[in-house]
Amino acid sequence: MFIAQKLKKENICEYLLYMWQIEDLIRAFQLNMDLIDENIIVPYPVSEAEKKTMYEWYESLIDMMRKENVQENGHLQLNKNVIIELNDFHELLMQSGAEPEYNSLFYSILPHLVQLRKKAEADIGDIELCFNFLYGIMMLNLKKEKISEETAVAQKDISKFLALLAKDYKLYQEGELDLDK
């Protein structure tokens, strides 16, 4: 929870990937608050008041997952909203032409996106496709599975693109990036 709060302010892309991990972590503990408390909250090095806040945060996420019927797969609406917001921001950035480096970087990853889209099971936007790809790589890394050199290049390029998206998003949110020029 504290990590999520910090990431949301500093790097929206890392925040989203973290929140997807939290969703999967909750699933791994079978949406069981006792297990989450015992394995995550109790050992976490914070005050009892902060542990109570963490407990309530996990509890609310579990409640949302049940209400939104994403206990087994899928993403919470609050995380889908981040994708929508980032996609809208991406389109705004592209149309504004205010950040030529961003546009150039996006066009440089298009060949990767074309390849990924061929493998994607759903019709999703470019930004969500980037996140799905990077999250998949994270999961492979956790399983200590090897990735091809081609996949590693795509990972590097897409990571660089999302890092710039996050940087520009933060600047825009802080009023330091004007896209109405």
Q: Are 40 and 22 in contact (CB under 8 A)?
A: no
Asked whether residue 181 is domain-assigned, the answer is no
6 and 33 share one domain:
yes
Distance CA(158)–CA(60), nearest Å, equals 32
The whole-number pLDDT of residue 181 equals 58
The whole-number pLDDT of residue 1 equals 78
Asked whether residue 54 is domain-assigned, the answer is yes
pTM of the model: 0.94
Total domains in the chain come to 2
Asked whether residue 106 is domain-assigned, the answer is yes
98 and 36 share one domain:
no
**Which residues of the chain fall short of a pLDDT of 70?**
181
Domain range for 102 is 78-173
Distance CA(80)–CA(62), nearest Å, equals 16
95 and 138 share one domain:
yes
37 and 86 share one domain:
no
- CB count within 10 Å of CB 37 equals 16
10 and 42 share one domain:
yes
